[in-house]
């Protein structure tokens, strides 16, 4: 049981109202915490961690729902697009199939039905499953405030552990992806396939590659990417470079040493597939 | 022996009274905070309940609406014991704000049987399949399993049944009998 009685919730029906509420609250110095499906938020509330006093419930903003296919390689996910939306979208299957793989491994169906991509991004967990895929695919996060809109590359969205560039008056209204050419690969290494938080996640699109659970934030492996983009294919060198891209730690789920080893192994298994014509999944 | 029993009874009565008092007090407090009224469809009927907006749907169902069939397991979305259907989709009611189901269609395990659930003939076909297959041991996961299974597509294969129930943990580990029961139910639905 949580002490729900003292928690305020605002429930706008229109995006504009939501943006006004965010602005007013930000100006008052009492920012509202956006609430979508609640699958992360309620875990911290239920654990008795101090809740923010005020929430902004986005669930009624139907305009933010769903996934749109724009052109042959382009996808636009609404700010409330759920993991189930991605699993059920033919456009996502066709353009970014590794996002479907990742979505299917996010908790059970119950979580997939409520959890949103935007929430997965904003929550800022370094172990998020959906974020590495979107980051490897060069996704942009579209932030809107009452008077402007800006698109931030997901790879530049995090400023530190669970810290993002979102201002308190802004809302993630859309996530846009122009899926780059090339094979796609998604690997989640955890204790078991379903219902487990990862020890290491790797997502790759072409030579772009992102890792989860190996740093305070989800990271792109820039050194490794530069080497691969220049045509480098030596596995030993690739492993040496990726070791500089990641900074894993020991925690409840795994050890830094194990994570380094797994990252190296995943890279060794992935690099030889880079020049094959068929997509590897 | 007799004396001890009387003492225990008296103790139990006192504690029940104390509990009732706390409950009444809690109710008063909630009223004082003027919980907004939430209207919804619950198991096919209109329902209204006054609950704080961020109260977990699980708690509102159990405490305010008296539907204790929905169980709490982990309280963090791992075990699925609290699964209910909101507009037909399986959700963990321990992770849903009560205010978010206003105007929604909520289904709980209590809505499955038609009439007296103690009469086998009144049970939902899926419940009967669970009985026939012995698909319940301690029973804590059963309401959640039933609700998650109800949300499966009629054509679900065994793999899809497994994936659809992956968010429901059974610590008695009687999964095979559960899958068998669900498969038999879906098979009947297809005919």
The chain-wide mean pLDDT, for chain A, equals 93
Q: Measured between alpha carbons, how far is A240 from A228 in angstroms, rounded to an integer?
A: 13
For A108, the 3-state DSSP assignment is coil
Contact A113 B89 (CB under 8 A): yes
Q: Measured between alpha carbons, how far is B77 from A195 in angstroms, rounded to an integer?
A: 9
- pLDDT confidence of residue B20: 46
* Contacting residues of B for A57, CB less than 8 Å apart: 53, 97, 99-100
Lowest mean pLDDT among A1-5, A34-38, A124-128, A131-135: A1-5
pTM of the model: 0.89
Q: What is the DSSP string of A217-269?
A: S-EE-HHHHHHHHTT---HHHHHHHHHHH------SS--HHHHHHHHHHHHHH
The b-or-e profile of B80-92 (16+ CB within 10 A means b, else e) is bbbbbbbeebbbb
Q: Which of A38, A84, A109 sits opposite B95 (nearest CB)?
A: A38
Interface with A, mutate which of B40, B54, B164 (most A CBs under 10 A): B54
- pLDDT confidence of residue A2: 56
User: In sequence order, which residues have a C-beta less than 8 Å from that of residue A24 and are 6 or more positions away?
Assistant: none
Contact A110 B167 (CB under 8 A): yes
Interface with B, mutate which of A108, A125, A196 (most B CBs under 10 A): A108
User: Between 3.30.160, 3.30.43, 2.60.40, 3.90.550, what CATH number should domain A4-57 receive?
Assistant: 3.30.43
Q: Measured between alpha carbons, how far is A198 from A248 in angstroms, rounded to an integer?
A: 13
Q: Which CATH superfamily is domain B33-111 in?
A: Beta-grasp domain (3.10.20.30)
Question: Is A46's Cβ below 8 Å from some Cβ in B?
Answer: yes
How are the residues of chain A apportioned to helix, strand and coil, as percentages rounded to the nearest 5?
35, 25, 40
Which of left, alpha, beta for B170 (phi over 0: left; psi -120 to 50: alpha)?
beta
Nearest CA to A141 out of A159, A125, A118 is that of A118
Contact A5 B90 (CB under 8 A): no
Q: What is the pLDDT of residues B129-183, one digit of tens each?
A: 999 999 999 999 999 999 999 999 999 999 999 999 999 999 998 899 999 999 9
Q: Are A34 and A26 in contact (CB under 8 A)?
A: no
Q: What is the mean pLDDT of each run of 10 residues along chain B (191 residues)?
A: 44 47 44 76 97 96 97 95 98 98 98 85 94 95 98 95 96 92 93 78
Give the fold, CATH level 3, of A62-178: 3.30.465
- pLDDT confidence of residue B16: 47
Q: Are B62 and B52 in contact (CB under 8 A)?
A: no
Q: Measured between alpha carbons, how far is B100 from A39 in angstroms, rounded to an integer?
A: 13
Interval A234-250 mean pLDDT? 95
Contact A110 B35 (CB under 8 A): no
Contact B95 A195 (CB under 8 A): no
- pLDDT confidence of residue A48: 80
Nearest CA in chain A to B78: A195
Break chain B into its structural domains and give their ranges. Answer: 33-111, 120-190
Give the fold, CATH level 3, of A184-273: Enolase-like; domain 1 (3.30.390)
Q: What is the pLDDT of residues A27-83, one digit of tens each?
A: 999 999 999 999 999 998 888 876 667 999 999 999 999 999 998 999 999 999 999
Q: Which of B35, B56, B151 sits opposite A2 (nearest CB)?
A: B56
- pLDDT confidence of residue B117: 75
Nearest CA to B54 out of B102, B119, B103 is that of B102
Contact B59 A1 (CB under 8 A): yes
User: In sequence order, which residues have a C-beta less than 8 Å from that of residue A226 and are 6 or more positions away?
Assistant: none
Give me the interface pTM, i.e. the ipTM: 0.91
And the tokens for B33? Answer: 């905070």
Q: Measured between alpha carbons, how far is A34 from A217 in angstroms, rounded to an integer?
A: 20
Contact B90 A110 (CB under 8 A): yes
Q: Are A47 and A184 in contact (CB under 8 A)?
A: no
* Contacting residues of A for B59, CB less than 8 Å apart: 1, 4
Q: Are A166 and A172 in contact (CB under 8 A)?
A: yes
Any bridge partners for residue B71, and if so which? Answer: none
User: Between 2.60.40.10, 2.40.160.40, 1.20.140.10, 1.10.150.120, what CATH number should domain B120-190 receive?
Assistant: 1.10.150.120
Q: Measured between alpha carbons, how far is A128 from A140 in angstroms, rounded to an integer?
A: 17
Interface with A, mutate which of B56, B76, B88, B97 (most A CBs under 10 A): B97
Break chain A into its structural domains and give their ranges. Answer: 4-57, 62-178, 184-273
- pLDDT confidence of residue B18: 45
Residues 15-74 of B with CB under 8 A from A: 29-30, 33, 35, 51-56, 59
């Amino acid at each position: 049981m949580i002490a729900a009685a003292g928690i305020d919730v605002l429930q706008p029906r229109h995006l504009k109202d939501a943006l006004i509420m965010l602005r007013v609250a930000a100006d008052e110095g009492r920012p509202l915490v956006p609430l979508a499906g609640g699958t992360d938020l309620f875990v911290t509330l239920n654990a008795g961690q101090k809740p923010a006093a005020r929430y902004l419930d986005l669930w009624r903003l139907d305009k933010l729902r769903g996934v749109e296919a724009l052109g042959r390689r382009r996808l636009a996910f609404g700010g409330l697009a759920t993991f189930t939306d991605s699993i059920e979208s033919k456009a996502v299957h066709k353009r970014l199939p590794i996002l479907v793989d990742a979505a299917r491994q996010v908790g059970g169906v119950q979580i997939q039905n409520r959890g949103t991509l935007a929430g997965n991004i904003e929550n800022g967990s370094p172990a998020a499953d959906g974020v590495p895929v979107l980051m490897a695919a060069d996704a942009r996060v579209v932030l809107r405030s009452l008077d402007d809109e800006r698109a931030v590359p997901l790879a530049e969205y995090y400023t530190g552990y669970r810290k993002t560039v979102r201002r308190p008056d802004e809302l993630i209204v859309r996530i846009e992806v122009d899926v780059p050419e090339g094979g796609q690969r998604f690997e989640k290494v955890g204790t078991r396939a379903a219902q487990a938080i990862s020890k290491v996640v790797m997502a790759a699109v072409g030579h772009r590659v992102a890792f989860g659970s190996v740093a305070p934030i989800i990271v792109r492996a820039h050194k490794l990417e530069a080497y691969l983009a220049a045509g480098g294919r030596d596995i030993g060198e690739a492993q040496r470079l990726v070791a500089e891209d990641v900074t894993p730690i020991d925690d409840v789920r795994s050890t830094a040493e194990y994570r380094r080893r797994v990252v190296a192994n995943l890279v060794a298994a992935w690099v030889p597939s880079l020049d094959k014509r068929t997509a590897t999944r | 022996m007799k004396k001890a029993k009387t003492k225990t009874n008296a103790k139990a009565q006192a504690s029940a009274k104390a509990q009732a008092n706390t409950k009444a007090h809690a109710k008063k407090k909630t009223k004082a905070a003027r919980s907004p009224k939430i209207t919804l469809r619950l198991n096919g009927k209109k329902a209204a309940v006054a609950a704080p907006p961020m109260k977990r749907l699980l708690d509102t169902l159990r405490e305010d609406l008296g539907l204790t069939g929905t169980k709490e397991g982990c309280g963090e979305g791992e075990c699925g014991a609290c699964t209910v259907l909101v507009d037909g989709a399986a959700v963990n009611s321990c992770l849903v704000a009560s205010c978010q189901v206003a105007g929604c269609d909520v289904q709980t395990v209590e809505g499955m049987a038609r009439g007296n659930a103690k009469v086998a003939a009144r049970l939902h076909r899926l419940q009967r399949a669970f009985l026939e297959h012995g698909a319940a041991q301690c029973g804590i996961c059963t309401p959640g399993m039933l609700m998650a299974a109800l949300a499966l597509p009629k054509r679900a294969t065994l793999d899809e049944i497994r994936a659809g129930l992956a968010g429901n943990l059974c610590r008695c580990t009687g999964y095979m009998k559960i899958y068998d029961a669900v498969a038999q139910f879906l098979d009947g639905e297809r005919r």
